[in-house]
C-alpha cells in the first residue's frame, strides 16, 4: 500500500528530545506526521523539540516515560491516542551507551544499558503491536558496531544485537496486521552520545575509516526512518545498516 503523508498519521518517538531521536521527530513532522516526543529526564530539550515542530506548522507533544516500565509505556500510548486519535508509527530511539572493556564494566552499568536498549525496546514494541493502526510501522534501533567487534563495545553491542534478533521475529508475529517491523543500525554519528569522552584526534580517525570520510549526521539516519515510517512498505523484518559504508 501507499501510505498518505498527511496529518492523519501519528508517530511516537522514544528518545526524541536529542540526537538521532530529535532528528527523527523533526523529519517525521516534516513528512506530515503528528509526533509524540518521548523523553526520560530532560524536559527542556523535549519541549524544545516540540517547539521546533510547532514552528514549522506541525503538531507535537512531549511525554516523559521510562521505556522499560510497562505502566509508563502504556501511559505514553494513552497520551498519544488522546492527543492525536491513534498511533501509526513507533520509533525506538531511546538508548544508553557505556563503553568499557568487559573486565572493567560494572554489572550495574551492564544492567542499565540492557534495561533501556533491550527491555525498553521490547516493552515499547509489545505495547505497539497491539495499538498500531493498519499501515503502521515499528522502527527499532541497533548499531553498526554489532559487525565491527570493537573493544569496549561488548555490552552495548550485545544489547543491540538482541534488538536485531527481536525485530524480524516481531515482523512475522504481526502477520495479517499490515504492520512492518524493521531495525536501523547507524554507524558512528555526530551526536552527543557518540562524541562524549572522545578526543578530536580519535573522532577524526573514526571519520576517516568511512569511505565517505565523515561521521554520519542525525539527518542521514532520519532519512531512512522516514522511508520505513512512510511508503517503504515492502521493507519488513530487516536490519538496515546506515553508515556510509563503514561496515
- Name which of 155, 166, 162 is nearest 128 in CA terms: 166
What pLDDT shows up at residue 225? 98
- Name which of 12, 9, 147, 173 is nearest 77 in CA terms: 12
Annotated catalytic residue within 77, 84, 122, 156: 156
What pLDDT shows up at residue 149? 86
What pLDDT shows up at residue 194? 80
| Number of compact structural domains in the chain | 1
Is 197 contained in some domain?
no
Phi and psi of 26, rounded to 5°? -65, -40
Is 209 contained in some domain?
no
What pLDDT shows up at residue 238? 98
Is 53 contained in some domain?
yes
What pLDDT shows up at residue 131? 97
- Is-catalytic flag, 156? yes
Domain that holds residue 90: 10-188+218-237
Which DSSP symbol is given to 216? B
Secondary structure element (H or E) that encloses residue 138, with its range? strand 136-141
Is 196 contained in some domain?
no
Contacts with 119 (C-beta within 8 Å, 6 or more apart), sequence order: 68
Contacts with 49 (C-beta within 8 Å, 6 or more apart), sequence order: 16, 17, 18, 22, 25, 26, 37, 60, 62
Contact of 67 with 43, CB cutoff 8 Å: no
Is 1 contained in some domain?
no
Is 161 contained in some domain?
yes
- Name which of 57, 61, 50 is nearest 18 in CA terms: 50
What pLDDT shows up at residue 148? 86
pTM greater than 0.75: yes
Q: From the CB of residue 116, how many other CB atoms can be counted at a distance below 10 Å?
A: 22
Low-confidence ranges of the chain (pLDDT < 70): 1-7, 247
Is 243 contained in some domain?
no
Phi and psi of 189, rounded to 5°? -130, 140
What pLDDT shows up at residue 207? 87
CATH code assigned at 106: 3.40.50.720
What pLDDT shows up at residue 247? 64
Is 3 contained in some domain?
no
Amino acid at each position: 500500500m501507499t501510505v498518505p503523508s498527511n496529518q492523519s498519521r501519528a508517530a511516537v518517538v522514544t528518545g526524541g528530545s536529542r540526537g538521532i531521536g530529535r532528528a527523527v521527530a523533526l523529519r517525521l513532522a516534516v513528512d506530515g506526521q503528528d509526533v509524540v516526543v518521548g523523553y526520560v529526564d530532560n524536559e527542556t530539550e523535549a519541549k524544545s523539540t516540540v517547539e521546533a515542530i510547532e514552528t514549522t506548522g506541525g503538531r507535537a507533544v512531549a511525554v516523559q516515560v521510562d521505556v522499560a516500565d510497562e505502566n509508563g509505556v502504556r501511559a505514553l500510548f494513552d497520551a498519544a491516542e488522546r492527543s492525536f486519535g491513534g498511533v501509526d508509527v513507533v520509533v525506538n530511539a531511546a538508548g544508553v551507551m557505556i563503553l568499557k572493556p568487559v573486565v572493567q564494566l560494572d554489572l550495574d552499568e551492564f544492567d542499565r544499558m540492557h534495561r533501556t536498549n533491550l527491555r525498553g525496546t521490547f516493552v515499547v514494541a509489545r505495547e505497539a503491536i497491539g495499538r498500531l493502526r493498519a499501515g503502521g510501522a515499528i522502527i527499532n534501533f541497533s548499531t553498526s558496531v554489532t559487525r565491527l567487534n570493537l573493544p569496549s563495545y561488548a555490552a552495548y553491542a550485545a544489547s543491540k544485537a538482541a534488538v536485531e534478533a527481536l525485530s524480524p521475529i516481531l515482523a512475522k508475529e504481526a502477520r495479517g496486521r499490515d504492520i512492518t517491523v524493521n531495525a536501523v543500525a547507524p554507524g558512528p554519528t555526530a551526536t552527543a552520545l557518540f562524541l562524549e569522552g572522545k578526543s578530536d584526534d580519535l573522532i577524526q580517525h573514526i571519520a576517516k575509516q568511512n569511505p565517505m570520510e565523515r561521521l554520519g549526521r542525525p539527518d542521514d539516519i532520519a532519512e531512512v526512518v522516514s522511508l520505513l515510517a512512510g511508503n517503504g512498505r515492502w521493507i519488513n523484518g530487516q536490519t538496515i545498516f546506515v553508515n556510509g559504508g563503514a561496515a
